[in-house]
Chain A
Amino acid sequence: MRLLIENLSKEYRGNVRALSEVHLALGPGVLGLLGPNGAGKSTLMRILGTITQPSSGRVLWNDSEIARHPDPLRAVLGYLPQDFGVYPNLNALEFLEYLAAVKGIPARAARNRIRELLELVNLTDAIKRPLGGYSGGMRQRIGIAQALLNDPQLLIVDEPTAGLDPEERVRFRNLLSELSGERIVILSTHIVSDVEAVATSIAILVHGQLIAHDLPEGLLASVSGKVWGVVVPSAELPALRQKHLVSSTAHRSDGVHARVVADAAPEGAARPLDPSLEDAYLSALTRQRSTANGALA
């Protein structure tokens, strides 16, 4: 089981470049795809989901190019798009039965699978309600269920936790972890904590370019010894932000407790902290922006 993305680029009308020369090789495990809004994550997901064709480059699923031969991948693909709809007059059972048939899952297997999935996404009580009356979170859970219908070898989930309450988010993370054994899962999000919980490797996409692809430990190592805790009065926080990358702040009685990512300790009483993935991600973004600005200058 192998997914190879080679020099993948995508350009939309008006010379808008969404992806630029992306190269990735993936085996079983969960890839956390991080990036700010507009980084090209959803474009990459749509290409991998066989919905959009790349402008150049190619994607190989088990050595078969998906743009030319999409069906071998589609047969084993579970895809949860960022924006998707449902048929408002069908209920959950009818909708999943329909998609199971479209995916070619035998009737008996489909029935069992749908029952398990509805249980898993906690929708058994709403099974007979028309989907048009579902809340955003419930629709998202239906989306998750349909993505798992065919026991996919490649599971692509684009912003899957959007609209889920904290409890459902935890359930979904657990589910992804347990599913990841013998399949490739690509989790695209800008919520770092979701990736932190489940990813076995992490890729960072900025302005359509892949700026990092590493194990979580590797990314953390890149900011090891560079994360500091400082306490400053509220009034001095803007100045601190101007000088350094501040990854988080918390107001306390003695001032603002700030996490700072910097090569050297900031002035004052700074104490070293263990780096988090959020620190590593923000640091990578900042480095990329500095490089881009430098290139422009």
Chain B
Amino acid sequence: MTRATAVSAIARADFLERVRRYSFLFTLGFALYLGYLATAGKLMLRLGHMRGIFNSAWTGGLLSLVASSFISLAGFYFVKNTIQRDRDTRVGQIIAATPISRFTYVLGKMISNLTVLGLMVVILAASGIAMQLVRGEDRHIEFWKLFAPFLLLALPAMAVVAAVAVFFEAIPLLRGGFGNIVYFFVWGMGISLPFAADTHTLDLSGMFVVADSARNAAQLSLQNGGFSLTLDLGYFDYPLATFRWEGITWTSEIVISRILWLGFSLMLVILSALLFDRFDPSRGGLLPKAQEPIATAVPERNSASAQTTAATLTPLVAEQTNSRFLAILTAEMRLMLKGQKWWWYVVAVGLVIASAVLPSAEARGIVLAFAWIWPVLLWSSMGIRENREQTYQLIFSAPHPIARQLPAVWMAGVLVALLAGCGFGLRLLLGGNVRGLMAWLIGALFIPTFALSLGVWSGTGKPFEILYTLLWYIGPLHAIPRFDFMGSAPATAATRCPQIYLLLTCVLAAAALLGRKRQLQF
């Protein structure tokens, strides 16, 4: 088998395995939803107070930027499981015993990622035709102008995302939930850095390519032609002037810059192959020691005793189904916290102290935001641990699994929130700020309930890690009261937001209960 055949076989098998799972419908649904948002005018590309008329060039430019901006975020999370799947299904061990090289394997996986992301881009491109016809400003479809931005802007960006996903999977530290959070910030930097540094070199999304060309067509200067791709959250309440744009002139310089991104993704694949452990657990240098199998056997009794040892078990007497909530809660806390490194606790304590002693309320709020993002990986295991570690058969076959174990899991999450944010809460208490304290307390209830509910329904910690980080970034970190579920900004406590989050917490708690009940009735 040649290397090319092997690569295509790996990519094909991985792709088929993906598309035959129900979760793939979410992937396609997301692409369709983006297409709908753009068609409905919820996603807007603007140059100052102007926009292009919806001809093929503008439609293609807008949608290709939607792809390279939004699919590069969500798509990463959709595809970052390709090597992990081989670990989980233990197919990896079979593959590891074959002559296939690490590069071939990783390249095949990257191509499978790219195929999935490419499919999302194709769906978005197809929706471009509908968008142009629905908008009706120019119904003449020009295929090259419509599709060239997808081919030359979006697809190279997707290749990089596909390669970054396998790169994250190749590094033990980035393989799990921590990597999910890190990528969010990597993505944010990737989008904002080219603008902040005003450099075309880092323009992965192709935003500069579209902006420069459109700005020329609109005859706007850099100052009054500020370029933005915006998701409508109800702010588009003024009409934009229009101009006609005939699309990007694909100079060799632009084309080469896009090809260079393909080269960059190939370099990432090579690097990933070098770092990939080939499913050898002993090479996972950053894995906790507990994951490594014991090399030496535990001393056994002599064989004679095996034949003769009687089973001397003391029978249990009556009253054997007490509710031992505190014992379960202690065990759940242990499950959450055990395995954390010492420096994790040092940082957590440091954040508690800082959120208590900083003089400015605003600064304390920012520290609280960090104190409540720090345990995100503890919370993201809520409601999924039983499935992830395959202990659900043991736990769900015990009496009253909903009444006994689920509340303990939830309470452990709340305790973690209270402990991590106690510095901020203590300061509110001592200052007699009752409304602030209530908002903080609601935050401490909301976070673990959100985690538990998403965990129970999705069966994985990924949705919570992504959505929580996104919400945290928009709300508490930027002190926007509407999204400040922590009550970290001084102004939030005076609004009705805490009550809304309390209501949401109740709804999420009910959803978690229903979700667990559904799991038990499977």
A148 to B315, CA, bound (A): 10
Q: A53-B522, A104-B322, A107-B327 are in contact. Are A179 and B389 (CB under 8 A)?
A: no
Interface residue? B256 (CB, 8 A): no
Q: Of A167-175, A227-235, A263-271, which binds chain B?
A: A167-175
Interface residue? B391 (CB, 8 A): yes
Are the C-beta atoms of B289 and A101 separated by less than 8 Å? no
Minimum CB distance partner of A132 in chain B: B290
Q: Of B59-67, B73-81, B330-338, B498-506, which binds chain A?
A: B330-338
Question: What residues of chain A lie closer than 8 Å to B316, measured between beta carbons?
Answer: 105, 109, 113, 150-151
Are the C-beta atoms of B323 and A102 separated by less than 8 Å? no
Chain B stretch 285-319: residues in CB contact (< 8 A) with chain A: 288-294, 297-301, 303, 306-307, 309-317, 319
Q: How many A-B residue pairs have CB under 8 A?
A: 168
A170 to B304, CA, bound (A): 11
Q: A51-B397, A120-B313, A150-B316 are in contact. Are A104 and B306 (CB under 8 A)?
A: no
Q: A90-B335, A171-B309, A178-B311 are in contact. Are A135 and B327 (CB under 8 A)?
A: no
Question: What residues of chain B lie closer than 8 Å to A87, measured between beta carbons?
Answer: 335, 385, 389, 391
Question: What residues of chain A lie closer than 8 Å to B297, measured between beta carbons?
Answer: 135
Question: What residues of chain A lie closer than 8 Å to B323, measured between beta carbons?
Answer: 104
Are the C-beta atoms of A101 and B327 separated by less than 8 Å? yes
Are the C-beta atoms of B313 and A151 separated by less than 8 Å? yes
Are the C-beta atoms of A49 and B400 separated by less than 8 Å? no
Are the C-beta atoms of A150 and B334 separated by less than 8 Å? no
Question: What residues of chain A lie closer than 8 Å to B391, measured between beta carbons?
Answer: 84-87
A87 to B288, CA, bound (A): 13
Minimum CB distance partner of A177 in chain B: B311
Q: A90-B335, A94-B334 are in contact. Are A77 and B397 (CB under 8 A)?
A: yes
* The residue from A83, A84, A101, A148 contacting B324, defined by CB atoms under 8 A apart: A101
* The residue from B298, B312, B320, B397 contacting A125, defined by CB atoms under 8 A apart: B298
Question: What residues of chain B lie closer than 8 Å to A98, measured between beta carbons?
Answer: 328, 331, 334-335
| Interface size classification for chain B | 35 or more
What is the interface of chain B mostly: helix, strand, loop, or mixed? loop
Interface 0/1 of A14-56, CB less than 8 Å to B: 0000000000000000000000000000000010011111000
Interface 0/1 of A103-121, CB less than 8 Å to B: 1111101001100110010
* The residue from A101, A106, A179 contacting B319, defined by CB atoms under 8 A apart: A106
Interface residue? B223 (CB, 8 A): no
* The residue from B301, B312, B334, B397 contacting A116, defined by CB atoms under 8 A apart: B312
Are the C-beta atoms of B390 and A83 separated by less than 8 Å? yes
Interface 0/1 of B506-522, CB less than 8 Å to A: 00000000000000011
Minimum CB distance partner of B303 in chain A: A167
Interface residue? A99 (CB, 8 A): yes
Question: What residues of chain A lie closer than 8 Å to B290, measured between beta carbons?
Answer: 88-89, 130-133
A130 to B405, CA, bound (A): 22
Are the C-beta atoms of A116 and B314 separated by less than 8 Å? yes
Are the C-beta atoms of A50 and B396 separated by less than 8 Å? yes
Interface residue? A207 (CB, 8 A): no
Q: A83-B390, A106-B320 are in contact. Are A94 and B314 (CB under 8 A)?
A: no
Are the C-beta atoms of B322 and A179 separated by less than 8 Å? no
Interface 0/1 of A68-82, CB less than 8 Å to B: 000100110101010
Q: How far is the CB of A163 from chain B (nearest CB, A)?
A: 13
Are the C-beta atoms of B294 and A129 separated by less than 8 Å? yes
Are the C-beta atoms of B324 and A106 separated by less than 8 Å? yes
Are the C-beta atoms of B288 and A179 separated by less than 8 Å? no
Interface residue? A256 (CB, 8 A): no
A77 to B398, CA, bound (A): 8
A131 to B301, CA, bound (A): 20
Q: A79-B394, A99-B398 are in contact. Are A120 and B311 (CB under 8 A)?
A: yes
Q: How far is the CB of B297 from chain A (nearest CB, A)?
A: 7
Question: What residues of chain A lie closer than 8 Å to B310, measured between beta carbons?
Answer: 174, 178
* The residue from B291, B306, B339, B393 contacting A46, defined by CB atoms under 8 A apart: B393
Minimum CB distance partner of A112 in chain B: B314
Are the C-beta atoms of A107 and B393 separated by less than 8 Å? no
Q: How far is the CB of A106 from chain B (nearest CB, A)?
A: 5
Interface 0/1 of B489-505, CB less than 8 Å to A: 00000000000000000
Q: A87-B335, A99-B398, A179-B311 are in contact. Are A125 and B299 (CB under 8 A)?
A: yes
Question: Which residues of B pack against A, CB within 8 Å?
Answer: 288-294, 297-301, 303, 306-307, 309-317, 319-324, 327-328, 331, 334-335, 338-339, 385, 389-401, 404-405, 521-522
Given contacts A84-B393, A151-B315, A167-B303, 6 further A-B contacts (CB under 8 A): A85-B389, A104-B322, A105-B320, A122-B301, A134-B293, A151-B313
- A sample of 9 inter-chain contacts (CB < 8 A) reads A88-B290, A98-B331, A102-B328, A103-B321, A112-B314, A113-B316, A120-B309, A130-B289, A167-B303
Question: Which residues of A pack against B, CB within 8 Å?
Answer: 46, 49-53, 71, 74-75, 77, 79, 81, 83-90, 94, 97-107, 109, 112-113, 116-117, 120, 122-123, 125-126, 129-135, 138, 146, 148, 150-151, 167-168, 170-171, 174-175, 178-179
Closest 3 CB pairs of A and B: A85-B390, A132-B290, A130-B290
